[in-house]
Amino acid sequence: MNFMPSSITDVLGIEVGQFTDSRRPTGCTVVLARGSAVGGVDVRGAAPGTRETDLLSPSNVVERVHAILLAGGSAFGLDAASGVMRWLDEQGIGLEVGPARVPLVPAAVLFDLPLGDPRIRPDAASGYAACEAASKDAPAEGNFGAGAGAAVGKIFGIARAMKGGIGSASVTVEGVTVGAIVACNALGDVVDPETGRVLAGARTADGQALLDTRRALLQGVGATPMLAGSNTTIGVIATDAVLNKMHTGRLATMGHDGLARAINPLHTLSDGDALFALATGASGKTLGMMTLGTMAAEVTALAVVRAIRAARAVTAGSLHLPAWADLA
């Protein structure tokens, strides 16, 4: 994979802000499109935690949104979206509806409650703080924002898992950029798509080495029962290409190909995997969907790998999650 510095903020019209709670590993990440962007979504996991995804259907009236929120805290974390709305409202950003402007903020959450005190989770103040921190700078990767409490490789129990995180990447073709930011909290392992090598995931019983979940399951090793929704990888794909709503939704769909290259197994009954897509149109150009979809899958896979490579070990109570760097 190409690890040259790049991020979703390379996309014209996109900013990112993050809030990381110092009291325990959790937080939220906001992707802002101040000038609004055409929105789309594709939810593949069987246990999603989402907000305002129906309005992104191509059959529904609303075409453009103003921000996407990614948060920890399970369903509690959806509260952070109200803080994003408040911040946007104060900036005069929103859909004109009669005498008012209504900011449109779809959101998705991941489950990070096992790390530390589960009563501490992102709230409206967290979402507002993430907006206050938003900029065109490349977002911090690893244990930040929505990835602060993320873990991967939980199929054989959280005690044998490893630290997940958040990562971002972008690619540019013929003056059009596609970028992604992904918070990886997968039930499965994270794999380098270029080599097929497991980077992080379930560990052996002694905790000293990677198990390789795919091979273990195919050899008949039984998985530990998991609660629905107790995992989830969520992210945003953005482009400055000119796209309509249907094509933006297709960009999110093709982005899931990138998740499938980097996470195995994926889209399980215990994951709520969801990818949003934003098209700002700021480049004034477009490319064929074949090229844009290929770019979307590429940056999504790369963002997952970068999240894992940037993650650092955490200890919360009796639970210790090593990171990629510890076992590499």
Could you read off the pLDDT of 250-304 as tens digits, one per residue? Answer: 999 999 999 999 999 999 988 999 999 999 999 999 999 999 999 999 999 999 9
Could you read off the pLDDT of 122-163 as tens digits, one per residue? Answer: 999 999 999 999 999 999 999 999 999 999 999 999 999 999
Residue 137 CA neighbour count, 13 Å, CB half: 8
CA dihedral 260, 264, 267, 268 (to 10 degrees): 170
In the prediction, which pLDDT does 1 show? 43
pLDDT at 5 over 90: no
Please answer whether residues 285 and 174 qualify as being in contact, where contact means their C-beta atoms are separated by less than 8 angstroms: yes
Q: Considering the chain, what percentage of its residues have pLDDT values greater than 70? A: 97
pLDDT at 198 over 70: yes
- Give the pLDDT band (50/70/90) at residue 228: low
Chain centroid, CA 325 distance in Å: 21
The two tokens of residue 259 are 């998740």
- Cα 194 to Cα 189: distance, rounded to the nearest angstrom: 15
What are the chain's domains?
8-327 (3.60.70.12)
CA dihedral 85, 86, 92, 93 (to 10 degrees): -10
Could you read off the pLDDT of 185-196 as tens digits, one per residue? Answer: 999 999 999 999
Could you read off the pLDDT of 40-97 as tens digits, one per residue? Answer: 999 998 889 999 999 999 999 999 999 999 999 999 999 999 999 999 999 999 998 8
- Cα 48 to Cα 78: distance, rounded to the nearest angstrom: 12
In the prediction, which pLDDT does 4 show? 57
